Amino acid sequence: MTTRRSLPLFLTLLAASLAAQDVIITKDGDRYVAKGATYEAVVAPDGCLESLRVNGAEFFMHAPNFPRGAYFHQDGLVTCPDVQQPAPNVIEAKGEKASVRYQFAADSQKWTLTNATDKRMLFLIVFELPVKAMTDERGEWWQPPVGMRCTTATWFQDHARLRITGTARLWGPWSGDHQVWEVGLDPMQTREVTIEAAMATDDEAKQAAAVAAQVREAPKDPEGPMWDLRAFSQPPATQPAEGFDEPGVKAIFHDGPTFRNRPTRVFAWIGLPEVKPGQRVPGMVLVHGGGGTAFADWVRLWTGRGYAAIAMDTCGCLPKGTYGNWERDEHGGPWGWGGFDQIDWPRTDQWTWQAVAQVLLANSLLRSLPEVDPDRIGLTGISWGGYLVSVVAGVDNRFRFVVPVYGCGYYLDTVFGQSAKSLGEERAARWMRWWDPSVYLTDAAMPMLWVTGTNDFAYWLPALQQSYHATKGPHTLCVTLRMPHGHGGHGENPPEIKGFADSLLLGGQPLAKITGQSRDGTLVSTTYESPVPITKAELLYTKATGNWPDRLWELAPAAVEPGRVSATLPEGVTCYYLNLIDERGLTVSSEHEEIAP
């Protein structure tokens, strides 16, 4: 007899038993084989799901060591060698760093993925080469390998269909045109992924075959300028973005560039300070970084300073969700960031082209407002946004100044260099020729302030130095000790950005100007001009070599005298520079110099 207290347990066991009737799990040597009505899945002794056949078609690629079909990755393959079957339809695999629970049903699966470490981890799927057609959550068809972010992706091979739901990043080509599906797991995070396996309909199979048969041709270089500034100088049409409410700012959509032969719209927050009748205020265009979106707080930061401001999403998303997992706009453009895996798309469909066009349109929109002075508009961007504004600096001469934060050009000398090189010689050369800021910085004539830290993980000091050397206009540096990388106060609110903007747009006192620097043995010095007294100076130096983000930088006081700052280098220094700090607390840096050990 079943008691009332035991009823929930009884129902749970009954549900599991019924589900188990739809799938059979057997042992084949040291492997578990799950067979449903539409698929066969194999879980290896290391916990990886190394094979998934849908109606006989293999979707996952695996090798003895790497890749392993569906698997964890954190500085290499992460295994889960404790593999057990706790229920008739469940396989669990556990390891020191991660665990995965595979729950099987007749035509579906649910994977529960857990990162048990204090470091970000990835769960990856590498698809077999015959998987050459997919649709996203919008129902748009693509030929893999493709680069995008999506919540649902449906993959086709012959008459087999595999649908995977769970916010993921898609990228490739990897190791000979393979498609990779990737979901990120933050420290101690658990995420769920659902799998549906079925026969494709006749219409789906026909469409998938047509997509797979498409021949990709390398897109051609533009015959003229990459962007038509005259066309993008026209202010775009706007409409209210209903359902988005933030104090002090307005949510809008504005028309974006065409993507895949269809019109797009761009979400933006736009704000104005208090404006007296007949008054015109300066403006700022704000470009977010990787994982970001349009941030209302960033706009309010600048309206509170007396500036009009606009912050747009550059990745076809809406500010709904969480950092790095924003909701896709069905009318948005391509996914970011970098577009390495979009390099074979039509040139004007690729993310950098689209995102730069969006920045140009934001400038045109902001300067069209009657309250805004079109001759006093500045531009700043963070990380990938810093990359974008480094491109825009050489494309749109309407900006009065540009402030890249972290971001710069010369990508082969950044953390992203390997991403470019992995494309292969021709594709990598095309990416650098089209999208590296170094190509455009030679036309940048406006003042630029470059803000970063000594140990930035992504943009390294040699790439930064090449970038500011490439420009035509004056440059100012602000390189602080181990500056954190990110939005919020770190990237949005260094006081030097406000000081730089105020000096150029509001008549404020300028930052200090470095007029020269020298080294005589161990004595190093820099000369400067500054209307605001320099009250403190620092020598920043490292004795390390090798990977720039890993070098230990140290700080020592430097001597300040009128028009000159000097310091003595400790023994063994391999790289150094000087920071000058005025009585407002604003820092200006000399160029770094490397010394052969």
Task: Give the end-to-end CA distance of the chain in Å, rounded to a whole number.
Answer: 83
Residues 450 and 404: beta-carbon distance below 8 Å: yes
pLDDT on residue 21:
62
Query: Domain spanning 229-508 has what CATH number?
Result: 3.40.50.1820
Dist CA 52 CA 60 (whole Å): 6
Domain boundaries, the chain: 17-212, 229-508, 517-594
Interval 144-155: pLDDT, tens: 998 888 889 999
pLDDT on residue 281:
98
215: which residues sit within 8 A by CB, 6+ positions away?
none
CA distances from 390 to 64, 402, 417, 471, 474 (A): 44, 8, 17, 10, 14
396: which residues sit within 8 A by CB, 6+ positions away?
229, 359, 360, 363
Residues 77 and 71: beta-carbon distance below 8 Å: yes
pLDDT on residue 149:
83
Residue 213, amino acid? A
Task: Give the CATH architecture of domain 17-212.
Answer: Distorted Sandwich (2.70)
pLDDT on residue 13:
43
Under-70 pLDDT residues of the chain: 1-21
Dist CA 437 CA 448 (whole Å): 14
Interval 368-391: pLDDT, tens: 999 999 999 999 999 999 999 999
Query: Domain spanning 517-594 has what CATH number?
Result: 2.60.40.10
Question: Considering all CA atoms of the chain, what is the largest pairwise distance in Å, rounded to the nearest integer?
Answer: 94
